[in-house]
């Protein structure tokens, strides 16, 4: 296996294990919302989308995230407001990620959405 693929696999396993080990707080009930969030900084080639996807799944959120050509990552996240807020804040904490700017906007809900997808 080429070295790049090996290193990516090691990183991905690390990300998944870190998300699994994260202790989640108890969340009060909150309004269901959908947000589009664009993250700028060191957010590509660091496992950002995988980390977001794994944590969103743990939190029971739906949506997607994708890399943008300008180096940013854009996501649409739907679910309980408090859980989305936790996810967005969480994404600024891993040591290998550096979010320097975050822009969010509220969107209409998407009915019958299932899961959280990573787009390329």
Whole domain around residue 98: which residue ranges? 3-119
Q: Can 58 be counted among the known catalytic residues? A: no
Measure Cα distances from 70 to 16, 43, 47, 74, 90 in Å: 26, 11, 17, 11, 23
Q: Can 49 be counted among the known catalytic residues? A: yes
pLDDT value at residue 112: 93
DSSP assignment, residue 2? -
pLDDT tens per residue across span 80-119: 999 999 999 999 888 889 999 999 999 999 999 999 999 7
Catalytic residue among 42, 58, 67, 102: 67
Which residues does residue 107 pair with via DSSP β-bridges, in sequence order?
34
Catalytic residue among 13, 49, 66, 102: 49
CATH number of residue 59's parent domain: 3.30.70.100
Q: Count the domains in the chain.
A: 1
Q: Is 36 helix (H, G, I), strand (E, B) or coil?
A: strand
Q: Residue 58: how many CA atoms within 13 Å on its side-chain side? A: 21
- What does the CA dihedral 9, 119, 68, 78 come to, rounded to 10 degrees? -110
CA distance 54 to 22: 11
* Model-wide pTM > 0.75: yes
């Amino acid at each position: 296996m080429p070295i790049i693929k090996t290193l990516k696999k090691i990183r991905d396993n690390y990300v998944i294990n870190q998300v699994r080990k994260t202790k989640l707080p108890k969340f009060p009930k909150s309004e269901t919302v959908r947000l589009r969030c664009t993250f700028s900084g060191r957010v590509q080639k660091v496992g950002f989308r995988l980390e977001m996807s794994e944590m969103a799944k743990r939190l029971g959120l739906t949506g997607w995230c994708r890399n943008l050509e300008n180096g940013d990552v854009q996501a649409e996240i739907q679910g309980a407001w408090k859980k989305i807020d936790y996810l967005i804040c969480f994404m600024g904490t891993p040591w290998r990620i550096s979010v320097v700017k975050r822009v969010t906007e509220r969107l209409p809900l998407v009915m019958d959405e299932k899961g959280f997808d990573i787009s390329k």
